[in-house]
């Protein structure tokens, strides 16, 4: 027996895990920072990846946005809009809720650090 890089010896130890496949989904966004300008909607594309035959409908929502920001789920993601009466800077989360199933939070890669985060940053500029 050999491993991926074609090495093996009596000192190598391998662990094999066998488990049933569980249908699930994952949510991703392209960036971790968004800026919303007054009277100009912000579209945030959301990628939903289904695995192992996951079929239930998934509803998207935003947590942490101020109440003055209107949030609408679209077939391609989330659209945010503001009237210009508020300014805001803070963390938000995009959450996917499956009907009779799990809840997942959108992940984004933080380019400068090479890590992923669930905490997205929203800046809302006032008029």
**Does residue 30 belong to any structural domain of this protein?**
yes
Which comes out higher in pLDDT, residue 80 or 4? 80
Cα 31 to chain centroid, rounded: 10
pTM of the model: 0.81
Partners of 88 in the β-ladder: 124
Is the model's pLDDT at 3 over the cut of 70?
no
Q: State how many domains the chain has.
A: 1
**Does residue 95 belong to any structural domain of this protein?**
yes
**Does residue 29 belong to any structural domain of this protein?**
yes
- The range of the structural domain enclosing residue 85 comes to 24-124
Q: Which residue has the tokens 């289904």?
A: 50
Identify whether the C-beta of residue 83 lies closer than 8 Å to the C-beta of residue 38.
Answer: yes
**Does residue 2 belong to any structural domain of this protein?**
no
Q: Which CATH number covers residue 52?
A: 2.60.40
Q: Which residue has the tokens 């998207």?
A: 60
**Does residue 6 belong to any structural domain of this protein?**
no
pLDDT one-digit tens code per residue, 32-71? 999 999 889 999 999 999 999 999 999 999 999 999 999 9
pLDDT one-digit tens code per residue, 79-105? 999 977 889 999 999 999 998 889 999
**Does residue 12 belong to any structural domain of this protein?**
no
**Does residue 82 belong to any structural domain of this protein?**
yes
**Does residue 116 belong to any structural domain of this protein?**
yes
Query: How far apart (Å, rounded) are the C-alpha atoms in residues 59 and 96?
Result: 5
């Amino acid at each position: 027996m050999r491993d991926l890089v074609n090495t093996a010896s009596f000192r190598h130890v391998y662990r094999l895990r066998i488990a049933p496949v569980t249908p699930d989904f994952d949510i991703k966004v392209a960036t971790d920072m968004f800026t919303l300008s007054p009277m100009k909607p912000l579209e945030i594309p959301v990628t939903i990846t289904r695995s192992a035959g996951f079929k239930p409908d998934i509803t998207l929502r935003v947590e942490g946005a101020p109440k003055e920001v209107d949030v609408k789920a679209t077939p391609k993601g989330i659209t945010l809009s503001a009237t210009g009466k508020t300014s805001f800077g803070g963390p938000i989360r995009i959450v996917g809720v499956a009907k009779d199933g799990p809840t997942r939070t959108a992940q984004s890669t933080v380019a400068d650090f090479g890590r992923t985060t669930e905490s997205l940053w929203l800046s809302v500029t006032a008029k």
